[in-house]
Amino acid sequence: MKVSVIGRKTEVPKAFRDIAQKKMGKYDKFFRDDAEATVVISQKGKMDRVELTITSAGLFYRSEQNDETYQNALDKALSAIERQIRKNKTRLAKRLREGAFLKEADAGFDGAEDLPEEGSFEVRTKTFPVKPMSCEEAILQMNLLEHDFYVYRDDATGEVNVVYTKKDGSYGRIIPE
């Protein structure tokens, strides 16, 4: 797995870069050789923050964790991703490395017990008219409906876009390529 460690408004300590490379290597058992991991460190208030994103076989695995040290936050992020994988292992089996869930491969990992797998997804389908509007109008509509996201057609491009509320209270916009 190719690992990139990036500092956002902070310098990445060499010791942390080495630790991140080593810890990510332990998770090679789940991912194919073409997997790429990005570890972004930053400060949020007085806490250290680690954003971990792994791309493998067309899927993204992501976790954001805060802790007193970058190393502890990285450990939490890796555990969260491992939990996500174990919880959805049947659905992910074709996209993960063969033999990722053999008991021998689990030796030495914290929380290696099998987690109950999610049942089938129940999907409620809803239709609605998608009218052209600006991004600002879409955010206003989203807030009026008290939703976390809103799908709309951009009046300038005609493309379907999504606006959403981020964890920090700011807004995000998704534009298809």
pLDDT given for residue 107 in this prediction: 47
Question: What CATH architecture does domain 2-106 belong to?
Answer: 2-Layer Sandwich (3.30)
What's the topology of domain 132-174? SHC Adaptor Protein (3.30.505)
Residue 5 has pLDDT above 60, yes or no: yes
Task: Please write the tens of the pLDDT for every residue from 78-121.
Answer: 999 888 877 777 777 666 666 555 544 444 444 445 555 666 77
Residue 150 has pLDDT above 90, yes or no: yes
Model confidence at 160, in pLDDT bands (50, 70, 90)?
A: very high
Task: Please write the tens of the pLDDT for every residue from 120-131.
Answer: 778 888 888 888
pLDDT given for residue 109 in this prediction: 47
Please compute the mean of the pLDDT values over residues 11-23 and round it to a whole number: 92
Which residues 6+ apart lie within 8 Å of 75 measured at CB? 23
Amino acid letter, 129: P
2-106 and 132-174: identical CATH topology: no
Amino acid letter, 1: M
pLDDT given for residue 143 in this prediction: 85
Residue 167 has pLDDT above 50, yes or no: yes
* Stated pTM of the model: 0.63
Least confident interval from 30-34, 51-55, 140-144, 155-159: 30-34
Residue 76 has pLDDT above 80, yes or no: yes
> What's the residue count for the chain?
177
pLDDT given for residue 58 in this prediction: 77
pLDDT given for residue 93 in this prediction: 67
What is the domain partition of the chain in residue ranges? 2-106, 132-174
Which residues 6+ apart lie within 8 Å of 27 measured at CB? 1, 54, 78, 81, 82
Q: How many helices (H) and strands (E) does the chain have?
A: 5, 8
Task: Please write the tens of the pLDDT for every residue from 32-66.
Answer: 788 899 999 999 888 999 999 988 877 788 899 99
Between these two residues, 29 and 93, which has the higher pLDDT value?
A: 29
Compute how many other C-beta atoms are within 10 angstroms of the C-beta atom of residue 81: 19
